[in-house]
Amino acid sequence: MKDANSRQRCRRRSCYDRLRMRMIERRRARRANPAQSAALQLLALFSFVVRGASSAALPQPSYTPPPMSPRHAQRLELARRLDVAPRYVDIVLSQGAVPYARLFEDVRRGGIARRDAMSELRKRVPEASLDWLDYIQKWERWSELVRCHVPNEREDLTEVRVLESTLRWLEHLRGNSPGRPGAMLETTGVDTDPQKPKV
């Protein structure tokens, strides 16, 4: 028993022990002086306030957009005269009217393209369907609107589908129709925006 205790006491220090002692000493040396830490925080706060006051006194450069090119200005003027969105100027000049295929494609895309397409659709669809278009836009029932167009179909058949959807919507409002309003292609499930991918 006596030999075991003496061996533990007389044990030689290894490099691990020296490393451990160095780490302990470094930790002791690293402890910050709280007064010094508070002084540094006050200095940082003071410099922030002084810098903020000096930058507020300096005039900020204002942004001015680059001048509009003459061709773009001419295009906007032509769009205003034709009463169409600037994106449809070339189509209106070449074909006379924006085809339904392009309008429904822009409705699917969403954003500003959807807004422009809806303003053009209001000019193209029969007048009886304008209230239905208001309903579609107010409640964002874009899939009901998109179902009215079948690709590679004649333009007059798209107008017929819009009128049929309007009639179904009116019947639904009166309470005569058990189903939902919409075009011929009814689907079960929640109406979703056609721009969102289905997961």
> Do the domain assignments include residue 168?
yes
Count the Cβ atoms, other than its own, within 10 Å of residue 169.
21
> Do the domain assignments include residue 72?
no
> Do the domain assignments include residue 103?
no
- 3-state helix/strand/coil string of 2-69: HHHHHHHHCCCCCHHHHHHHHHHHHHHHHCCCHHHHHHHHHHHHHHHHHHHHHHHHCCCCCCCCCCCC
Kindly list the distances between the CA atom of residue 118 and the CA atoms of 5, 11, 85, 168, in Å, as whole numbers in the listed order.
Answer: 94, 89, 11, 20
Could you tell me the sign of the dihedral formed by the alpha carbons of 181, 110, 100, 86, in that order?
A: positive
Residues 113-125: pLDDT tens digits?
999 999 999 999 9
38 confidence band (pLDDT: 50, 70, 90):
confident
Count the Cβ atoms, other than its own, within 10 Å of residue 85.
18
> Do the domain assignments include residue 174?
yes
Count of structural domains, the chain? 1
Count the Cβ atoms, other than its own, within 10 Å of residue 115.
13
Among the listed residues 199, 196, 198, the one whose alpha carbon sits nearest the alpha carbon of residue 109: 196
**Of the ranges 7-21, 22-36, 47-61, which one carries the lowest mean pLDDT score?**
47-61
185 confidence band (pLDDT: 50, 70, 90):
very low
Kindly list the distances between the CA atom of residue 89 and the CA atoms of 83, 93, 122, 130, 185, in Å, as whole numbers in the listed order.
Answer: 9, 6, 17, 23, 33
Residues 40-85: pLDDT tens digits?
888 888 888 887 666 555 666 788 888 999 999 999 999 999 999 9
CA dihedral 175, 181, 185, 188 (to 10 degrees): -80
Among the listed residues 185, 170, 97, the one whose alpha carbon sits nearest the alpha carbon of residue 135: 170
Is the distance from CB of 141 to CB of 183 less than 8 angstroms?
Answer: no
> Do the domain assignments include residue 36?
no
186 confidence band (pLDDT: 50, 70, 90):
very low
27 confidence band (pLDDT: 50, 70, 90):
confident
Count the Cβ atoms, other than its own, within 10 Å of residue 113.
17
Among the listed residues 150, 143, 124, the one whose alpha carbon sits nearest the alpha carbon of residue 181: 143
**Residue span of the structural domain in which 173 resides:** 125-187
31 is written with which tokens? 């402890």
